[in-house]
A and B are shown apart, each in its own frame.
Chain A
Amino acid sequence: MGLLSPQDEATLKEHLSPITLPVQLVLFTQAFGGSESGDVAKEVLNEIASLNDKVTVVEKSFVLDTEDKAKYKVDKAPAIVILSDGIDTRMRMYGAPTGYEFVGLVEAIIVAGTGKIDLDPETMKWIQAVDKPTHIQVFSTPT
């Protein structure tokens, strides 16, 4: 039995249906010495990927896959790197994406899979005018 009820699965499948671009969810976990949230993250991502054939999960080792870790600048695990058709969207999730964080993950997947960003045009102008490296960290909890 999956994490989601059949009704929730159907709802999520519908939310994901506008996706037209391949989305890769690159999951970095630590098998030894890591927390069990890596297993939870894997389960959540696989459940999402099972509902849309454009979404795939790529598993990486936080310890062994050092090149990819450096490429995506991942410094803690579990980490989810979201790629849109192989291109880094620069969106990361750290920790198991459960509760409210699950919602954020789904929204990020939809952005990556549709290329559409649902923001006010004026807000978009402000964002697109940013010309220096800007690192945003949002702390939240599942409930």
Chain B
Amino acid sequence: MTDQTSPPSSPPSSILCSHRTLCVARVILGVASLALFLFLWDALVRWRDYPTFILPAPAVVWERFLRTLADGSLLTHTSTTLMEILGGLLLGVTFATLLGYLLAKSPLLDQLVSPYVVALQAFPVVALAPLLVIWIHHPMIRTMLIAALVLFFPVLVNIIVGLRSVEPELVAMMRSLQANRWQNFVKLEAPSALPVFLGALKIGATLAVIGAVIGEFVGSDRGLGFLINLAQGLLDTPLLFVALFTLVVIALGLYGLVSLLEYHLLAWKRAK
């Protein structure tokens, strides 16, 4: 298998660094860019003298963060959202992988099912979410399903592309070696599709965050989506920012975890 057979994924070195000096430089750069962002944000608030309800200063958001952390509500809402994200991710990626494999292998099934899959993608989940409140009574399961729906299609497409990108020469070689279906999958298809699968997982991880928030926007009384709703209802802009930044941290964390996984699972590619 060559680099041409597997679709490119983001280089693992973009998240992880192999050289110590490079690592330190990246950390310093990261901290500096964050400090610059906070400085510019604070300067903007001071320059325009914005009231807190329009744009709170970083210190005000930090103070609100500490208060929300101290009363335990941030932890409660974050853990709920995290569970829903992970549940949705598991559900969506599992089904997308299974269906993706079947569609990649069977052109007939692809022709039959794909229009429905595309139609499902065309459905705005935001419009569907209130109906799901009626159909699925358990808020957490409902939110997981919404998260799974949001990430399903992009992950499915990536899985299909990954499986179809196996080099025909390698397929012919496996056939000449009389490999059975399982051997084909384990020795050829799975390794070939792995980079794209991991790329799909990255997409799924970030989309699951959106899905969970959509799910919590309708008919939920906990989670960061609910906290955003609550903050909007109370006109509490600092609380809104606390919830948003927590979501950003979750998205970055999940992305980082998948990158770490990618780094280890694709070590063989770097060794080549």
Indicate whether A and B interact. no
